[in-house]
């Protein structure tokens, strides 16, 4: 009996997901009532949307999307919005149960920065529509943060500098930013000098405060932090950047935090070297304060516990790009933290953690932390749409040797977009979502290699997961998800002691198709749990029905999944070795791996066309996995030093 089915709209192919087997409900409950339409803050390359609805109890309404550059004639198709609503999410042992409200949500990808678009959304329901059926919105994508060219320029030199100076010049950042008089706490007396649009050029040298010196010339006595509180603007940021005459090293002298920017809006930090501090950029606390517009660009941040962090729902518009971030973990060992009962020392925590809206974290090289890049696990979503965690892009980062996870979407609500990242060596998991509050969270074209735990860590019933075109060279087992959809992925476990796929879903409208699997030579190679009928959606995990299968065909028959799926192995790649299943804990170099498919392999040209995701492909159809044809992706910094 087929329990899961995909309903298709005419070409061009658009994915929509619908429940089947729903009991007859009066038409008044089945028709859809159009409600509030929300445009989330766009990022450089993407834009997210929500369309709240009522009704549609049989979940057969759809929203198709198309867009065009403003003023042009040609329209492009995008993925349809995802139908969300009714899914239940549990917290980390918290005494609450969150239910996702009825809506559609989703994103448009591959936009151009600083460009205006017209976006059209068409709601359809065979049972009828009350209210708007077509909505058109104009959006403007963000531009890459840059210094303001007309601002005042101040020059900063290290203590003891005796060479020629460019004027106006100052000793240390605090004197330039705040004013004369660094002795004692007198630097707090004058009104701050730095104003929107100003540029502070920091000249070569090492800037290390003497924390026990009351008259420290850098004004860092006792706490060791640059507490910056001025407000730039998106058009006129305050810029603190290397002058270009040699390395600029900010040594934290072991301080807990070095740059406290929790109240400093729209600041750019560029070309700096930062080291020897627990937290390099301290940017926000939950329900307290969080800055907007923090840009950290082309910096080298090493010997730190945390590179960039904010827990604040008020944080907006971070741009963390092209940095090298190096933690304190042993570089030659893949070591886990061994659970809550016997945790290993956390010598470095995470590289980047954000909350809030419209953040971009891209092209960073991150290594030797507990976690790589995280959305803050924040608890229940905020009531205000302006404070919900939405519209965050994490892409083209190169992440190496994490003792926990590469990337965590934990705590995100809608339109968390994680795409085109590469992760090598993690002890616990590759990509995490525990939880996501309705989604969608997008995992697209990520490469995950050598993970001791699982490529996907989906626990606490995350809802609204769209996983497309990922290459998972690791085992894949996860707990219960809701409203999850998997297309064009490669699942290649490296041991023969764990199933090819192990997971569960609490919704009959979760779907899997067009994926490739390394089928293990073992009993119960596929282990799956789901509701037997739609009437059992959202039941407790213990009440789900098991659909265990020894081979791929049996898995298809029992679940109704993967009518277009294929069996694959590591020989499909141009140059990828199977991780040694007996060398647990081995650290693999990133050099020499090519995840493109060999021409004519069983995974070539076997993918589903996904508008706005894989429109440009070689051959008769898209390839499975993260790499398409001969197309290349640059992971990590675009202009490495």
Give the pLDDT confidence of 16-63 residue by residue, as tens digits.
444 433 444 557 899 999 999 999 999 999 999 999 999 999 999 999
- What Rg, from alpha-carbon coordinates, does the chain have? 25
Tell me the two tokens of residue 129. Answer: 């529509």
- Whether 260 is covered by a domain: the verdict is no
DSSP-derived letter for residue 414 is E
- Whether 35 is covered by a domain: the verdict is yes
What's the CA dihedral at 175, 179, 185, 186 to 10 degrees? 140
**Pairing assessment for the beta strands 169-171 and 153-157 based on DSSP bridges:** parallel
Domain count, the chain: 1
Which candidate, 425, 472, 407, 422, places its Cα nearest to that of 331? 425
Complete DSSP assignment for 59-80: ---EEEEEEEETT-S--EEEPP
Would you say 294 and 261 are in contact if contact means Cβ atoms under 8 Å apart? Answer: yes
Q: What pLDDT score does 597 carry? A: 98
Task: Give residues with Cβ within 8 angstroms of 62, minimum separation 6.
Answer: 9, 16, 80, 83, 123, 124, 125
**Pairing assessment for the beta strands 490-491 and 516-517 based on DSSP bridges:** parallel
> What's the chain's length in residues?
641
Distance CA 113, CA 139 (A): 11
Residue 120: how many other CB atoms lie within 10 Å: 15
Which candidate, 482, 509, 476, 481, places its Cα nearest to that of 494? 476
- Whether 440 is covered by a domain: the verdict is no
Q: What pLDDT score does 7 carry? A: 29
Task: Give residues with Cβ within 8 angstroms of 125, minimum separation 6.
Answer: 30, 31, 32, 56, 60, 61, 62
**Pairing assessment for the beta strands 205-208 and 238-242 based on DSSP bridges:** unpaired
- Whether 48 is covered by a domain: the verdict is yes
- Whether 105 is covered by a domain: the verdict is yes
Q: What pLDDT score does 5 carry? A: 30
Distance CA 121, CA 134 (A): 6
- Whether 537 is covered by a domain: the verdict is no
Q: Is 584 exposed, middle or buried (0-12, 13-18, 19+ CB in 10 A)?
A: exposed
- Across the chain, which distance is largest between two alpha carbons, in Å? 84
**SS3 label, residue 48:** strand
Q: Give backbone dihedrals phi and psi of 594, rounded to 5 degrees, phi first.
A: -135, 110
- Whether 75 is covered by a domain: the verdict is yes
Question: In the structure, how many helices (H) and strands (E) does the chain have?
Answer: 3, 53
Which candidate, 311, 307, 310, 309, places its Cα nearest to that of 323? 307
**pLDDT tens column, 484-494:** 999 999 999 99
Q: What pLDDT score does 184 carry? A: 65
Tell me the whole-structure pTM to 2 decimals: 0.95
Task: Give residues with Cβ within 8 angstroms of 164, minimum separation 6.
Answer: none
Q: What pLDDT score does 15 carry? A: 47
Distance CA 138, CA 280 (A): 38
Q: Give backbone dihedrals phi and psi of 559, rounded to 5 degrees, phi first.
A: -100, -25
Below-50 pLDDT ranges, the chain: 1-24
- Whether 381 is covered by a domain: the verdict is no
Q: In what order do the strands lie in the sheet with 103-108?
A: 82-84, 103-108, 47-55, 32-39, 129-130
Which residues share a beta bridge with 268?
239, 295
Tell me the two tokens of residue 473. Answer: 């060279």
Task: Give residues with Cβ within 8 angstroms of 110, minimum separation 6.
Answer: 45, 612
Distance CA 327, CA 350 (A): 8
Q: Is 620 exposed, middle or buried (0-12, 13-18, 19+ CB in 10 A)?
A: exposed
Q: What pLDDT score does 639 carry? A: 87
Q: What pLDDT score does 95 carry? A: 63
Distance CA 549, CA 200 (A): 64
Q: What pLDDT score does 181 carry? A: 62
Distance CA 506, CA 527 (A): 15
Which candidate, 560, 538, 536, places its Cα nearest to that of 547? 560
Alpha helices in 488-630 (DSSP H): 552-559
Residue numbers of the domain that contains 122? 13-140
Would you say 479 and 456 are in contact if contact means Cβ atoms under 8 Å apart? Answer: no
Residue 24: CATH number of its domain: 2.60.40.10
């Amino acid at each position: 009996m087929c329990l899961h089915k995909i309903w298709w709209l005419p070409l061009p192919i658009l994915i929509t997901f619908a429940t089947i087997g729903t009991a007859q409900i009066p038409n008044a409950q089945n028709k859809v009532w159009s409600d509030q339409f929300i445009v989330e803050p766009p990022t450089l390359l993407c834009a997210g949307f929500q369309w709240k609805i009522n009704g549609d109890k049989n979940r057969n309404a759809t929203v198709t999307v198309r867009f065009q550059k403003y003023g042009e004639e040609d329209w492009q198709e995008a993925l349809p919005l995802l139908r969300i609503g009714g899914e239940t999410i549990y917290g980390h042992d918290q005494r609450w149960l969150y239910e996702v409200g009825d809506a559609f949500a989703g994103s448009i990808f591959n936009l151009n920065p600083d460009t205006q678009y017209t976006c059209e959304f068409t709601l359809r329901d065979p049972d009828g529509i009350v209210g708007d059926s077509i909505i058109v919105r104009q959006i403007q994508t963000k531009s890459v943060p840059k210094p303001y060219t007309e601002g005042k320029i101040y020059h900063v030199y290290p203590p003891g500098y005796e060479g020629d100076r460019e004027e106006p010049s100052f000793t240390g950042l605090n004197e330039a930013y705040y004013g004369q008089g660094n002795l004692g706490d007198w630097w707090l007396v004058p009104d701050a000098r730095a104003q929107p649009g100003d540029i502070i050029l920091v000249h070569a040298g090492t800037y290390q405060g003497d924390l026990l010196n009351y008259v420290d010339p850098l004004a860092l006595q006792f706490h060791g932090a640059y507490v910056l509180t001025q407000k730039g603007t998106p058009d006129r940021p305050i810029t603190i950047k290397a002058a270009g005459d040699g390395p600029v090293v900010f040594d934290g002298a072991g301080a807990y935090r070095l740059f406290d920017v929790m109240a400093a809006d729209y600041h750019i930090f560029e070309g700096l070297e930062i080291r020897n501090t627990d937290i390099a950029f301290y940017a926000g606390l939950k329900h307290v304060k969080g800055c907007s517009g923090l840009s950290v660009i082309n910096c080298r941040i090493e010997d730190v516990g945390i590179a960039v962090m904010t827990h604040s729902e008020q944080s907006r518009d971070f741009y963390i790009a092209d940095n090298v971030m190096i933690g304190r973990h042993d570089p030659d060992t893949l070591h886990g933290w061994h659970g809550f009962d016997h945790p290993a020392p956390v010598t470095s925590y995470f590289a980047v953690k954000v909350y809030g809206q419209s953040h971009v974290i891209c092209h960073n090289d991150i290594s030797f932390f507990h976690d790589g890049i995280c959305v803050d696990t924040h608890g229940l979503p905020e009531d205000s749409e302006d404070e919900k965690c939405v519209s965050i892009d994490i892409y083209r980062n190169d992440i190496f040797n994490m003792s926990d996870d590469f990337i965590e979407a934990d705590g995100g609500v809608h339109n968390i977009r994680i795409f085109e990242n590469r992760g090598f060596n993690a002890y616990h998991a590759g990509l995490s979502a525990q939880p996501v509050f309705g989604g969608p969270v997008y995992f697209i074209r990520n490469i995950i290699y050598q993970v001791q735990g699982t490529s996907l860590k989906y626990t606490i019933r995350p809802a609204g997961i769209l996983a497309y075109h990922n290459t998972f060279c690791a085992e894949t087992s996860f707990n219960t998800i809701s409203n999850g959809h998997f297309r064009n992925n490669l699942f290649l476990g490296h041991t023969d002691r764990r199933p090819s796929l192990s997971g569960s879903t609490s919704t009959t409208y979760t779907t899997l198709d067009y994926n490739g699997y390394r089928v293990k030579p073992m009993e119960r190679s596929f282990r799956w749990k789901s509701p037997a009928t739609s009437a059992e959606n959202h039941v407790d995990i213990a009440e789900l029905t098991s659909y265990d299968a020894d081979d791929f065909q049996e898995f298809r028959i029992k679940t109704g999944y993967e009518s277009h799926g294929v069996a694959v192995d590591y020989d499909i790649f141009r140059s990828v070795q199977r991780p040694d299943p007996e060398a647990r804990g081995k650290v693999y170099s990133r050099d020499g791996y090519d995840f493109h498919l060999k021409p004519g392999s069983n995974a070539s040209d076997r993918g589903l066309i996904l508008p706005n995701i894989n429109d440009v492909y070689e051959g008769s159809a898209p390839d499975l996995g993260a790499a398409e044809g001969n197309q290349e992706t640059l992971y990590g910094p675009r202009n490495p030093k």
